[in-house]
Structure 1
């Protein structure tokens, strides 16, 4: 695990931080792909974990959710717009083209089974000592997590910290072929930059200094 801030840990579940989960206090954020369960549970062994939350219900974030929730008896949380996908495991509805080869492969090989949602979240709710920030765009119900006391921001897939094909670190927009509304995604990045974060962490790629993220947001039109 990689420390992002006090009580905030990044858990990479694929090489080169290409897919990341997080432990914020006692809450697990995201669960990687279907085969990430063993690695996640090993990383969490001996940790006090009391809940699990999804930034969004894409296959590389909800893949091991059911396995981990069952193993640790965790309640699942997400935004209301992600509830159906989280509970059914059918995650293609949030892709701009659900019949595309990429979407169908994600569903077949990465998506996990559904799991009942115990609580839906909205802007301002508190999770693991962080505040929920609604950041729609990549999906309709995407959420990020913000802690004003030290400026730590868990952006999820509101933006990415690497090229998803080469895994070379760089700041970028979420992948267009997997993004519900790119204009909304740009607006959400600008919203997050307006918080003036000091440290920003992503679902894909290494964390970056907040000033770099703010500069990146300023380039978006």
Structure 2
């Protein structure tokens, strides 16, 4: 684990931070793909993790959730809308084209088993030292997490900080193939920008210590 802010740790599950999960306080946020389980469990083996939160139940975020929750005997928390997918393990069904071969591949090889959700999260709820921000669009029930005192933002996939094909760093909207409602997601990007975050932690891409990059991106958006 790499400490990226006070009590915030990044677990890079793929090279070049292609897929990330995070530990905030005593909470695991997201869990990569199914085969990420051992890497996550090894990373947190000396940590007192008490719960697991999903920003959204897509295959590259809930893949190892059931394994980690079962092995560590910790509860799973999601937004109200993501609960159904997290519990069923059917996690591509709000993709715009869930019959696309990439979607089918992700469901078969990346998605994990469903797992019972113990608690539902809504706008304004506290998750450790962070606050839940509802950011729908990439998925219907997507959430982000924000710590106002130092501006740390767990973005999820509302934005990505890499080109997912070339892996070159830079702010982008998430790919349309996996985004339920691109217009709604843009509204959520604006919502996050208005929080004035200082440190942005993405599901895909390296952590951004913002020096104006977000504002430049918004001007182009």
CA RMSD of aligned residues (A): 0.8
- Output the CA distance in 2 between the equivalents of 1:214 and 1:147: 19
Cα deviation for residue 207 of structure 1 reads: 1.1
Q: Residue 105 of structure 1: CA displacement?
A: 0.7
Which sections of structure 2, spanning at least 5 residues, go unmatched?
none
Please report the TM-score for the alignment, with normalisation by the length of structure 1.
0.97
SS at match of 1:217: helix
Cα displacement (A) at 1:28: 0.2
Matches of 1:55 and 1:4, distance apart in 2 = 19
Task: Give the match for residue 218 of structure 2.
Answer: 217
Q: Deviations over 1:178-216 (max 9, x none)?
A: 000000111111110001111111000001123312331
CA distances 1:11-40 after superposition (whole Å, capped 9, x unpaired): 111111000000000000000000000000
Count of equivalent residues: 220
TM-score, normalising length from structure 2?
0.97
Residue 72 of structure 1 deviates from its aligned partner by 0.5
1:73 corresponds in structure 2 to 73
**For each residue in 1:51-98, what CA deviation from the matched residue of structure 2 results, as whole angstroms up to 9, or x when unmatched?**
000000000000000000001001000111111110010012121111
Q: Residue 133 of structure 1 aligns to a residue in which SS?
A: strand
**Aligned equivalents of 1:216 and 1:156: distance in 2?**
17
Q: Hey, which bits of structure 1, 4+ residues long, moved more than 3 A?
A: none
Aligned to 1:92: 92
Alignment of 1:36-51 (within 5 A): 36-51=36-51
